[in-house]
Amino acid sequence: MITIERIGALREQCDDARRRECSVGFVPTMGFFHDGHVSLMEAARSAHDLVVVSLFVNPTQFGPTEDLDAYPRDAEGDARRAAAAGVDVLFAPLIEEMYPRPMLTSVRVEGVTDGLCGASRPHHFGGVATVVTKLFSIVGPCTAYFGKKDYQQLVVVRRLAADLDIPVEVVGCSIVREPDGLAMSSRNAYLSSDERPAAAVLYRALEGAIKNVMSGERNVARVRDAAVEIVSTEPLMSLEYAEVVRGDDLASVTQLENGVEYVIALAARAGATRLIDNATFQIDGHDIHFDLYGFGTPRET
Amino acid sequence: MITIERIGALREQCDDARRRECSVGFVPTMGFFHDGHVSLMEAARSAHDLVVVSLFVNPTQFGPTEDLDAYPRDAEGDARRAAAAGVDVLFAPLIEEMYPRPMLTSVRVEGVTDGLCGASRPHHFGGVATVVTKLFSIVGPCTAYFGKKDYQQLVVVRRLAADLDIPVEVVGCSIVREPDGLAMSSRNAYLSSDERPAAAVLYRALEGAIKNVMSGERNVARVRDAAVEIVSTEPLMSLEYAEVVRGDDLASVTQLENGVEYVIALAARAGATRLIDNATFQIDGHDIHFDLYGFGTPRET
């Protein structure tokens, strides 16, 4: 694995790969790798000749009161894990490399950014959309891999790639969970020893909501309430939102229908630490397909 | 020359060219070709293996009261002129091909879009920036050619390509003028037989302003006033703006300095027809370089 800090050098690697008719798989990250990141790298490795991982804590997607300065970092550990996962190129630019002058250009995605995390983080997805567009321009990947934990981000990136005709396939990979169900996240490092076990209530809330659907419930408000009730049993967790929305465009729904993918998405705080989690599901007649550890089989969509 | 209507088919042509290590030159247009368009095609032809010209009257860059429906079209004549100029691929998509679903994603460029035409056309450059980003994604050109008549557009496109790390060189080509100095424009077709000769006053105004600089004037307000005064002699033309700004970022200036490129830019109406024109110039000690027919030598920048 080589580590590259400059855009020009990365472009050379990617251009060279394309000249040799090699396919390029890309995993954009903010580093502090856990098994979730590694699963994305492995998915890319299994399908592509050249695997590029970017490690860039993008300042423009953090709000002024958010955790940019505290965001956990471990450059050496990240390089070791990426190399072990078979990554070819780790792109780790400085902020000045990605933003060498004041950015006058921005990419915005409307609609799918209004609800869920977009409601409380008004500039977040604009920052994500702009930096992902830049990274796609730099790497020119055939396929890009995103974790489904940031489900709304996945929908935003899919939509911007389609709307801007960027020739990349955007693959969402299943959430990787700790043994007690907590979704892996770099931000889990913020949790105190009390908060850490409490945070697994989010997983149990998703599980409870899905059991509710399995038992025949089709009313969205009642499915949502099943999740809310479970989170409320954990005094250390404070719920920000719980929503059941359509999976492809995050549209509100009132009743669950056959053959449509839905996502139940949660955000909650443990002290100052904001955590998100979600599960996708689809009702097909008597079958119900879930993407939740312990229920469904992890799959790419 | 082949004409292509579908994005997928165009991508195949461009991907195939790149596989054969052919360079791709691109000229985005709204059609109704005149010698200005042809000069862009010839510039691309002289430098690239594959020359792609897009012909798309992009609805999102027209305001609600603007001339989208009236915009002049001549598909057959355009195909003939493009073929004669040595174009390889004419990309002429339908609106539904470029916008198959509601666009949730937009590209915006701030700052350089505030003044000049941006002041009276608030959504114009957002539409331009978004469609140009889409076209760059589809074609993946090495170099894209834009006419300097739409000078602000050239600055906007250069900035978005730099900010979004799009690997394209953006070349601005000199304005091509009618014998009386009127800048060639598809919108000249709207002019009545009275308005057509009157419109050449814009050229004379640029010429007058530049003579003013040549005579030693360095005060921007007085250079601008020289142009305004000349336009005011023509009762059929109504001036919208006349500005002298910095060429690279369109920043306001009060005094002309050595070694800096400036642009004097005009917009005026002849009846309902809105025309724009400009000239770039730079003072280098005792030399003054202009890009205006009859004064300077047409050049690529």
For A138, the closest of B102, B160, B165 (CB atoms) is: B165
CA distances from B262 to A271, B84, B247, B259 (A): 55, 35, 4, 10
Task: Please judge whether A109 and B104 are an interchain contact, meaning their C-beta atoms are less than 8 angstroms apart.
Answer: yes
Residues of A in contact with B251 (CB under 8 A): none
Whether A105 and B167 lie within 8 Å, measured CB to CB: no
Q: How many CA atoms lie within 13 A of A158 on its CB side?
A: 19
Write down the H helix ranges in chain B: 7-19, 35-47, 75-84, 95-98, 117-120, 124-139, 151-163, 195-198, 201-214, 220-232
Contact B186, B34 (CB under 8 A): yes
Strands B89-91, B2-4: pairing is parallel
Tokens of B117: 């035409």
- Residue A286's pLDDT band (boundaries 50, 70, 90)? confident
- Confidence band, pLDDT 50/70/90 cuts, at residue A231: very high
Chain B residue whose CA is closest to A157: B105
Q: Which two tokens mark B51? A: 């020359």
Q: How far apart are alpha carbons B85 and B276 in whole angstroms?
A: 26
- Percent of chain B exceeding pLDDT 90 equals 95
**Residues whose CB is less than 8 angstroms from the CB of residue A44 and which lie 6 or more positions away in sequence, other chains included:** A25, A26, A27, A51, A53, A87, A143, A145
Q: Which residue in A has a C-alpha nearest to residue B134's C-alpha?
A: A164
- pLDDT for residue B59 is more than 50: yes
Enumerate the β-bridge partners of residue A145: A171
Query: pLDDT tens digit string along A22-39?
Result: 999 999 999 999 999 999
CA B32 to each of CA B65, B69, B78, B124, B154: distance values in angstroms, whole numbers, following the listed order: 21, 14, 6, 20, 19
Secondary structure of residue B268 in the 3-state scheme: strand
Spatial neighbors of A132 by CB under 8 A, at least 6 apart, are A28, A157, A160
Q: A107 vs B110: CB contact, 8 Å cut-off?
A: no
Q: Annotated catalytic sites of B, by residue? A: 37
CA separation for the pair B142, B276 (Å, rounded): 28
The pLDDT assigned to B286 comes to: 87
> What pLDDT band is residue B294 in, cutting at 50, 70 and 90?
low
Summarize the confidence of residues A91-112 as an average pLDDT.
98
Q: Test B108 with A105 for CB contact under 8 angstroms.
A: yes
Over residues B173-192, the pLDDT tens digits come to 999 999 999 999 999 999 99
Chosen from B15, B58, B104 to mutate, greatest number of chain A CBs within 10 A? B104
Residue A300: pLDDT over 70 = no
Mean per-residue pLDDT, B264-293: 94
- Look up A289 and say whether it is catalytic: no
DSSP class per residue in A213-273: HHTT--BHHHHHHHHHHHHHT-TTEEEEEEEEEETTT--B-SB--BT-EEEEEEEEEETTE
Report the residue from A105, A159, A162 with minimal CB separation from B160: A105
Do B241 and B212 form a contact (C-beta atoms < 8 A)? no
B148 to chain A nearest CA, in Å? 21
DSSP code for B149:
G
A157 with B105: CB under 8 angstroms?
no
Is a pLDDT exceeding 80 seen at residue B196?
yes
Residue A299 has pLDDT above 50, yes or no: no
N-to-C CA span, chain A: 28
Where residue B43 falls among pLDDT bands split at 50, 70, 90? Answer: very high
Tell me, what's the ipTM? 0.95
Which of A22, A91, A97, A104 best probes binding to B when mutated, by most B CB atoms within 10 angstroms? A104
Does the pLDDT at position A133 exceed 50?
yes
Residue A243 has pLDDT above 90, yes or no: yes
Cβ–Cβ below 8 Å for B134 and A108:
no
List domains and CATH numbers for chain B. 2-173 (3.40.50.620), 186-291 (3.30.1300.10)
